[in-house]
Chains A and B, each alone.
Chain A
Amino acid sequence: MTASQSRRPGLTERLLDVHNLKVHFQVSDRTIRAVDGVDFHVRPAECVGIVGESGSGKSTLVRAVSRLMPNLRINELSGDLRFEGRHILEMSERDLRALRRSHGFSMIFQDPLGYLNPTHRVGRQIAEALSPQGKGRPDGQRVHSLLQEVGFSDPKSVAHSFPHELSGGMRQRVMIAIALASDPKLLFADEPTTALDATVQLQVLQTLYRIHKERNMAVVIITHDLGVVAELCDRVYVMQTGKVVETADTVDLFERPKHSYSARLIELSAHRVDFRSAAP
């Protein structure tokens, strides 16, 4: 595949490079500094985790970078954001669309049901991602092979279903198929398994990991689960109140966390794992 060849990682090369990102919201007379001067980068084919407590600005960071922010209530949005060297914030809508349609970045979300159109069949929604002009066939070969890639053995019937007819795990797989349609170099996954039950979580994560490796696709995964980070990610960012308080290779973070907050996070999650395995 030519796409994966061109993506062979150089160690210093940066696919995504973010400097001093600030996203401030204005809610009535209060300014919320959701993201407040964050430095962040992703290398090609790398898996990066973002952890941090609720409200620390993880989703806002990822949304701002992928320019999927609603314009409402935004007070400040600034920083030096580059994808393959191109400035994301200054990019025209047209260039941005081109990037989203092929070899750019895609995104999947926490609640796959809300992010799928309830009135369109799954096949049509994937076909639309393959060809935004609407020329793609909902039951075409490319739709089926995407569905197979995310783990469906019966792509035909899935393509013909409506989102509400599928289970949560299946919906998230469909979301992944949609995200893969543009053959992205970078996939943002915002708590992709939080809404699923434990066994399904594992399967979806395994699928994500397999695709990440097979496609040499960089993945940025937001999660509350440090276990997920330990399994999947090469590097981690730890966020707290809009700032990155620590960034490290996963192994280093777990062995010797520098920041007290990270240490506490690890302690808490270890505690939880213990609690689980102690149960009969």
Chain B
Amino acid sequence: MLRYILQRALYALPLMLVIIVVMFTLLHLIPGDPVQALVGDYPVPPAYRQAIEEKYRLNDPFLTQVWNYVTAVVQGDFGYSYQNQRPVLSLILERAPRTILLASVGFAFAIPLGMAIGVITGTTRSSTTDKIWTTSALIAYAIPTFWLGQLLVMFFALRLGWFPTQGIGPLVSRAHGFDWILERGRYLALPALAFAIHEGMRFARIMRASVIDTLSQGYIITARSKGLTRGQIIRRHVLRNSSLPLVTVAGYAFGSALSGAVLLETVFTWPGLGLLMVDSIRLRDNLTVVGVVIFSAVAVVLMNLLVDILYAMLDPRIRTGG
């Protein structure tokens, strides 16, 4: 098992390097003045210009520049955001936890939700229960997240007034302990709910197909002939085996969610990576854009690694098979 993990990790490393190199090359391909491209829509004072040219050795051969950039990134130096007047890394480190929080809470609800609906519909296939749930799930999934977000805001925030409409809460808070969690939770509730509904419905569809597939397997017949009850069969033989495809899909989805749910963060003005990305693109703050992209790409690669490991833990055939 340990060997398997190390092997997977070793595969992931070159992939990350390639991502960094590709991103730097893209940055280089932006036409026009390279210094202006790095700084974005921001007047470049001569002092800055000189500092940048020196730092990135813009007059060196291309390969040397790539090498310099890679070593800088590996050491955590993504450059300086002139728009925000601070290092890109510190920007990312400020925004990332918020995105991770939103994605984690969203997934924490989406996965059980999707599994529950998937098992209910998969085990009652073609019945009225199945049809009602499957249709509702499909409709909920078809609603774009930003519109779903708006609907939730209109109902729960504007009409009922239970939750704030946007933001992540006051900058300075007097609340402590549980009250503090509650206060933050009120801001988190709606975006996380929108996220959970959308992703949850996707998981429900995958889970349903997987449950139906599992139910057609021979070992379910064996379980029945052992005299197990329906509930015992579902708990012991259906749940775990049907979850395998879900692990893959949810893992990849989580990885890409870490790059920020751009639409959702915009609707709720949730200042995470997605919103940072949108703002930086608008202001042509390219160093920040590249920084966020590299961060997200690495997050995706790491999540895939985690998925592989989790999958091997759930499916013994993979552990010993290869």
B225:A164 contact, CB within 8 angstroms: no
Q: Which residues on the A side are within 8 Å of B321 (C-beta)?
A: 164
B226:A117 contact, CB within 8 angstroms: no
Q: Complex Cα distance A34/B253, Å?
A: 46
Q: Does B241 contact A (CB under 8 A)?
A: yes
A128:B221 contact, CB within 8 angstroms: no
Q: Complex Cα distance A86/B242, Å?
A: 37
Interface residues of A in 60-119 (CB under 8 A from B): 66, 68, 70, 96-101, 106-107, 109, 111, 114-119
Give the contacting residue for A182; candidates B217, B226, B232, B316; CB below 8 A.
Answer: B226
Interface string of B292-322 (1 = CB under 8 A from A): 0000000000000000000000111100110
Q: Complex Cα distance A96/B50, Å?
A: 85
Q: Which residues on the B side are within 8 Å of A55 (C-beta)?
A: none
B222:A97 contact, CB within 8 angstroms: no
B226:A66 contact, CB within 8 angstroms: no
Q: Which residues on the B side are within 8 Å of A109 (C-beta)?
A: 218, 221-222
Q: Complex Cα distance A165/B320, Å?
A: 8
Given contacts A106-B225, A162-B316, A178-B226, contact A117 B241 (CB under 8 A): yes
Q: Does A16 contact B (CB under 8 A)?
A: no
Q: Complex Cα distance A56/B219, Å?
A: 24
Q: Which residues on the A side are within 8 Å of B217 (C-beta)?
A: 114
Given contacts A119-B314, A164-B321, contact A178 B222 (CB under 8 A): yes
Q: Complex Cα distance A117/B314, Å?
A: 12
Q: Which residues on the B side are within 8 Å of A117 (C-beta)?
A: 219, 222-223, 237, 241
Q: Which residues on the A side are within 8 Å of B229 (C-beta)?
A: 97, 132
Distance in angstroms from B109 CB to nearest chain A CB is 26
Interface string of B267-298 (1 = CB under 8 A from A): 00000000000000000000000000000000
Given contacts A119-B316, A165-B320, contact A128 B218 (CB under 8 A): no
Q: Does A129 contact B (CB under 8 A)?
A: yes
Q: Which residues on the B side are within 8 Å of A182 (C-beta)?
A: 226-227
Distance in angstroms from B286 CB to nearest chain A CB is 48
Q: Complex Cα distance A9/B225, Å?
A: 25
Given contacts A68-B221, A68-B224, A114-B218, contact A132 B232 (CB under 8 A): yes
| Most chain A beta carbons < 10 A, residue from B219, B221, B227 | B227
Give the contacting residue for A128; candidates B216, B236, B316; CB below 8 A.
Answer: B236
Give the contacting residue for B226; candidates A98, A119, A129, A162; CB below 8 A.
Answer: A129
Q: Complex Cα distance A107/B224, Å?
A: 10
Given contacts A114-B219, A115-B218, contact A98 B316 (CB under 8 A): no
Interface residues of A in 24-75 (CB under 8 A from B): 66, 68, 70
Distance in angstroms from A189 CB to nearest chain B CB is 12
Distance in angstroms from A158 CB to nearest chain B CB is 15
Given contacts A114-B219, A115-B221, A117-B237, contact A132 B316 (CB under 8 A): no
Distance in angstroms from A162 CB to nearest chain B CB is 4
Given contacts A118-B316, A119-B240, contact A111 B218 (CB under 8 A): yes
Q: Which residues on the B side are within 8 Å of A175 (C-beta)?
A: 222
Distance in angstroms from A181 CB to nearest chain B CB is 8
Q: Does B138 contact A (CB under 8 A)?
A: no
| Most chain B beta carbons < 10 A, residue from A70, A109, A118 | A118
Q: Does B228 contact A (CB under 8 A)?
A: yes
Given contacts A114-B218, A114-B219, A116-B219, contact A164 B317 (CB under 8 A): yes
Given contacts A115-B219, A117-B219, contact A132 B228 (CB under 8 A): yes
Chain A, residue nearest B235 (CB): A134
Chain B, residue nearest A67 (CB): B224
B219:A107 contact, CB within 8 angstroms: no
B218:A118 contact, CB within 8 angstroms: no
Q: Complex Cα distance A191/B198, Å?
A: 47
Distance in angstroms from B208 CB to nearest chain A CB is 16
Give the contacting residue for B317; candidates A97, A118, A125, A134; CB below 8 A.
Answer: A118
Distance in angstroms from A106 CB to nearest chain B CB is 6
Distance in angstroms from B98 CB to nearest chain A CB is 37
Distance in angstroms from A121 CB to nearest chain B CB is 8
Q: Complex Cα distance A101/B232, Å?
A: 14
Q: Complex Cα distance A162/B319, Å?
A: 11
Q: Complex Cα distance A134/B226, Å?
A: 12
Q: Complex Cα distance A120/B217, Å?
A: 14
Chain B, residue nearest A116 (CB): B219
Ranked 9 nearest A-B pairs via Cβ: A100-B227, A114-B218, A115-B218, A101-B227, A117-B219, A97-B227, A129-B226, A162-B316, A115-B222
Q: List 25 A-B contacts (CB under 8 A).
A: A98-B227, A100-B225, A100-B227, A101-B227, A106-B225, A107-B221, A107-B225, A109-B218, A109-B222, A115-B221, A117-B241, A118-B219, A118-B315, A118-B317, A119-B315, A120-B236, A125-B222, A128-B226, A128-B228, A132-B226, A132-B227, A162-B316, A164-B316, A175-B222, A182-B226
Residues of A within 8 A of B (CB): 66, 68, 70, 96-101, 106-107, 109, 111, 114-120, 125, 128-129, 132, 134, 162, 164-165, 175, 178-179, 181-182
